[in-house]
Chain A
């Protein structure tokens, strides 16, 4: 299987008549973790929502040459998995049943009657996120960090070639932030294209293959971390300087005003 390829050409998104994303062109391929960064209101979330089909867009977004908007709902759901902000869960269902919802696009409606192949993928997703021991706990009783990992497991269970994660590390303690990013990194290493919106330039630098910087709905820079988050970009887009170092073979970036 060749790597999946997602191409955005002049993607524009308008909300209530105001353009929040303008003429975004970006090529991304499977096996990569793309960190989408930018100040608040830069249009990061809108890009993800447009790719999921929650917002209308102009321009084109094609997956392996086929327009995303031309895919039917089910096929699109099988190919693009989405982790919204906040990890909503309205009923105290056991974590395992929440993860099993990831198989809905593949026709599995009832988490108590999964096919063996679906059950295996659910178990695998829980293993990758270290949530197996939470399987029987009601999801509403989990800590924020545990809930974030269960939500991530649900997204992995879709086993989609494209994974979109909106601020997956928001409101998590440092060890959970790193655990979530490592899980996303592993998904990318296994061939998925992972696009993660984040405000944490340090995590983006450490775990991202590519960083796309948005400002005011436009692409301000993109490329490998050192290039995309150059001193000039940090100053003009974020208004900060950076402390840079290297630790255990990874680049370290700490924003420093």
Chain B
């Protein structure tokens, strides 16, 4: 846990130092405390700090959301991005933008994205039903995310001009570039509220290990818990999508990285997963700046490229359980 926190802090400093003008961690720290010359201070504080802070905040939110979904559904293959939450949030935001209801810096954007995420996760939990097995969940997730993707495609299809379509497409790729403190201020309150909601339910996740019936007999209000978790995940995922576009698979990977370290207890997994998510996204964001390429690689593309093979690996590992079908 402490090691994870240190890792995050280290990556955070590296993230502040990387870019067209490379700065050493020492220079970064000097710039942060205001002792460096003007140019370094401007670069660090105004260009890179918002980006690095957003990376940490969003990574943590996504890692926490993934751990919470896995706890709620008692399923190591659960994650918001597999259930279409980011895609639906993106549709909410895109629809708001393309209908001209709001500009890219208004609070209407996170609200629309949160609504999209909420509806998608809610739909998933309703369709898959109580105590759903792996196969049912993943199939329903596939359906929900395809629907959200189709709806977004429709919005692009109907876009008034090619530039608007291009803007939507770029935004769907997910990126932390050129974000300001304004973006951070727009998303952070929602992400904090969502995270607080999820962490407050940690003991209920542990009781759910015994299944919904036994958890109910222990005094857990399972129906309310489900709504709270859907709400918490939607707040976090919706707010992050609203400022960076879709960044997927952090929520799936982070808890898996933590289980060998802190065990399977779904309650004790929450905070380490948040830290691992922050470290992962910061790492990915650093990588987009290091990998040489003619155009910038978007961080959302990179996390999906890493995340999907990881997902396949998990499927192989869980194959026995998946094959049995009814179990899970």
Binding site for B on A (CB under 8 A): 49, 52-54, 73-74, 76-78, 80-84, 86, 88-93, 97-98, 101-102, 104-105, 109-111, 138, 154, 158
Contacts and interface: CB of A to CB of B under 8 A. Distances in A.
A98 B206 CA distance: 9
Interface of B: 74-75, 202-203, 206-211, 213-214, 216-221, 263-267
Nearest to B75: A90
B209 A90 contact: yes
Contacts of B216: 52-54
Contacts of B264: 91-93, 138
Contacts of B75: 90
Chain A CB within 10 Å, residue with most, of B213, B214, B220, B264: B214
A83 B211 CA distance: 11
B219 A73 contact: yes
B209 A98 contact: yes
A77 B209 contact: no
Q: Which 3 A-B pairs have the closest CB atoms?
A: A77-B219, A109-B203, A88-B211
B259 to A, nearest CB: 9
Given A53-B217, A73-B221, 6 more contacts: A81-B217, A88-B210, A90-B211, A91-B265, A98-B210, A101-B218
Nearest to A76: B219
Given A90-B74, A91-B266, A109-B203, A104 B211 contact: no
A137 to B, nearest CB: 13
B70 to A, nearest CB: 9
Given A82-B214, A84-B213, A88-B211, A105 B219 contact: yes
Contacts of A104: 203, 207, 218-220
**Chain A interface helix/strand/loop/mixed:** mixed
B217 A101 contact: no
Given A73-B221, A76-B219, A101 B266 contact: no
B209 A89 contact: yes
Chain A CB within 10 Å, residue with most, of B207, B214, B217, B218: B217
Contacts of B218: 77, 101-102, 104-105, 158
A91 B263 CA distance: 10
A82 to B, nearest CB: 4
B308 to A, nearest CB: 25
A232 B209 CA distance: 44
A107 to B, nearest CB: 10
A73 B206 CA distance: 18
B265 A82 contact: no
Given A82-B213, A84-B214, A97 B221 contact: no
Contacts of A158: 218
Contacts of A80: 217
Nearest to A88: B211
Nearest to A81: B217
Contacts of B211: 84, 86, 88, 90
A154 B213 contact: no
A244 to B, nearest CB: 36
A183 B121 CA distance: 43
Contacts of A88: 210-211, 214
Contacts of A105: 218-219
B207 to A, nearest CB: 5
Contacts of B263: 93
Contacts of B214: 82-84, 88, 154
Contacts of A86: 211
A122 to B, nearest CB: 14
28 contacts: A52-B217, A53-B216, A54-B213, A54-B217, A73-B221, A76-B219, A77-B218, A88-B210, A88-B211, A89-B209, A90-B210, A90-B211, A91-B209, A91-B266, A93-B264, A93-B265, A97-B206, A98-B209, A98-B210, A101-B218, A104-B218, A104-B220, A105-B218, A109-B202, A109-B203, A109-B206, A110-B203, A154-B214
B210 A154 contact: yes
A105 B215 CA distance: 10
Nearest to A103: B218
Contacts of B267: 109-110
A39 to B, nearest CB: 23
Contacts of B265: 91, 93, 97
Contacts of B208: 90
Contacts of A52: 213, 216-217
A138 B264 CA distance: 10
Given A90-B74, A91-B264, A82 B209 contact: no
A196 to B, nearest CB: 15
Contacts of A78: 219
